[in-house]
Amino acid sequence: MKSKELNDKQKEELRSILSSDPRILNKQQIQKAFAPFSFDIKEFGSISSPNPLREKTKGIHFEIHYKRTFIIEVEITNMSHFRNDFIDFGEGSRGVSMGRFNTLSELLSVFINMFYMNILANVEYNAYYNSDHTWFDSEEEAIITLSYVQKLIDELNKK
């Protein structure tokens, strides 16, 4: 039996989303990139502060959840911020800031690599398929999509 492959349209859509500036994406596009890793996007919103003394700031914020558990809040404007009021990031800090991500693939890669051994390990993270709560028609499609997205992130981040 031949395994189901992603079609060219699906591949191009994922490539476009992952290679885009996250600040211009909508919730559905960001969810599509996070879904293969079994993450949900909640509390999505846009940020715009037209301060006449500064350059207009445009950005987004959202929460990443795993199996209905809040993991972290993400805010991307001219900087990138990860926050969780329940975790001490050191010296009483409740978050971490860094330069702005140019692409969603950079954001996903940093998020998983930075938090895998602490926050994600604490919730016993693993990518899973749940037929009651999924963006995919089958477990096979979820696995194929996850594999493709992982390879695509590696490819895009090498540029």
Question: Residue 50 — φ and ψ, nearest 5°?
Answer: -80, 70
State pLDDT tens for residues 95-119: 788 888 999 999 999 988 888 777 7
Distance of alpha carbon 66 from alpha carbon 43, whole angstroms: 14
Consecutive H or E run containing 98: strand 95-99
Confidence at 2, pLDDT banded by 50, 70, 90: very low
Q: Please tell me whether residue 101 adopts helix, strand or coil conformation.
A: coil
| Lowest-pLDDT range of 2-6, 67-71, 91-95 | 2-6
**DSSP for residue 131:** T
Q: Is the pLDDT of residue 54 over 60?
A: no
Q: Write out 6-73 in H/E/C secondary structure.
A: CCHHHHHHHHHHHCCCHHHCCHHHHHHHHHHHCEEEEEEEEEEECCCCCCCEEEEEEEEEECCEEEEE
Distance of alpha carbon 27 from alpha carbon 11, whole angstroms: 19
